[in-house]
């Protein structure tokens, strides 16, 4: 009778199957617990807290609350939710939950619960490659919908934000438009004749002057008036400079 020369491999395969059969359910259970939604009296408290804190955000808010890695929270008749210092409700966040001493449970405790705050809203992308220095038009952008928390905070969410803007860097086709990729088109240049306007209660005064610098719409610029006085104002869409109070 000849010994099977493959017995070491067969033994290893058999052992692997036995160990796998023993460990796989536990591993699956552990993985499942990480993604399981939180149960208990703390969940509605956290939900109400997150909803109140995200009121007014630009888009539809969707909140997911998971069970902590340490497991379900201890019993508490009046849990309180709070946001750790420096945290912001945007994307993945850890929400603090505390239970004061004297309530249900052996002692006071504080736990941190993982949550995800999705903000689904509109943002804008380029419809074509836009070279640096080129002025954008409404035909150059199109709206997309998505989770704003997965995009840069500077992404453009209002088409009015591109009015009079030029590309300060090359923008690829389909790329999300971001504030740092745009700059205002210069409408007032050094030495240019401009109209100065000052407004008050019931009166409007205007005069002429020369710009002492360059400025885009909404930017500040110094202007030397005909009287020789130098004034500062904000540039309007038509190039008029409104004198700052």
For residue 81, what are the β-bridge partners?
A: 97
Q: Which tens digits make up the pLDDT trace of 174-209? A: 999 999 999 887 889 899 999 999 887 777 888 899
What is the Cα–Cα distance from 129 to 131, expressed in whole angstroms? 6
The tally of CA atoms less than 13 A away on the side-chain side of residue 62 is: 8
Nearest to 37 by CA among 72, 79, 67, 69: 67
Say yes or no to pLDDT of 32 above 50. no
Q: Which tens digits make up the pLDDT trace of 66-93? A: 988 888 888 888 899 999 988 888 999 9
Q: Which two tokens stand for residue 124?
A: 């804008």
What is the Cα–Cα distance from 45 to 24, expressed in whole angstroms? 35
Say yes or no to pLDDT of 236 above 80. yes
Q: CA geometry: angle at 14 spanning 11 and 19, to 5°?
A: 120
| Residues 223, 211 contacting (CB under 8 angstroms) | yes
Q: Which two tokens stand for residue 203?
A: 């009166």
As a whole number, mean pLDDT of residues 52-77 equals: 88
| Residues 194, 206 contacting (CB under 8 angstroms) | no
Estimate to the nearest angstrom the gap between the alpha carbon of 15 and the chain centroid.
50
160 DSSP assignment: G
Per-residue pLDDT band at 106 (split at 50, 70, 90): low
Buried b (16+ CB within 10 A) or exposed e, 92-122: ebebbbebeeeeebeeebebebbbebbbebe
What domains can you pick out in the chain, each with its CATH number?
42-118 (no CATH), 120-184 (3.90.1210.10), 186-243 (2.30.30.760)
Estimate to the nearest angstrom the gap between the alpha carbon of 164 and the chain centroid.
24
Q: Which tens digits make up the pLDDT trace of 147-160? A: 999 999 899 999 98
Q: Which two tokens stand for residue 118?
A: 């999705």
Estimate to the nearest angstrom the gap between the alpha carbon of 82 and the chain centroid.
20
């Amino acid at each position: 009778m000849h010994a099977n020369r493959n017995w070491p491999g067969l033994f290893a395969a058999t052992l692997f199957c036995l160990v796998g059969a023993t460990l796989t359910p536990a591993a699956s259970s552990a993985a499942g617990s990480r993604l399981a939604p939180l149960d208990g009296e703390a969940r509605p408290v956290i939900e109400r807290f997150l909803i109140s804190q995200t009121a007014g955000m630009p888009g539809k808010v969707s909140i997911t609350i998971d069970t902590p890695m340490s497991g379900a929270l201890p019993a508490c008749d009046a849990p309180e939710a709070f946001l750790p210092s420096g945290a912001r409700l945007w994307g993945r966040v850890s929400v603090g939950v505390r239970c004061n001493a004297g309530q249900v449970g052996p002692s006071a405790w504080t736990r941190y619960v993982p949550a995800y705050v999705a903000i689904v809203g509109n943002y804008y992308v380029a419809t074509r490659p836009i070279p640096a220095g080129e002025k954008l038009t409404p035909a150059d952008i199109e709206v997309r919908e998505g989770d704003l928390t997965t995009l840069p905070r500077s992404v453009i969410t209002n088409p009015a934000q591109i009015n009079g803007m030029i590309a300060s860097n090359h923008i690829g086709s389909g790329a999300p438009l971001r504030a740092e990729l745009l700059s205002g088109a210069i409408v007032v240049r050094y030495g240019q004749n401009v109209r100065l306007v000052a407004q008050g209660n019931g009166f409007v005064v205007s005069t002429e002057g020369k710009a002492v610098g360059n400025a885009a719409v909404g930017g500040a610029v110094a202007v030397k008036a005909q009287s020789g006085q130098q004034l500062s104002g904000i540039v309007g869409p038509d190039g008029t400079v409104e004198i700052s109070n």
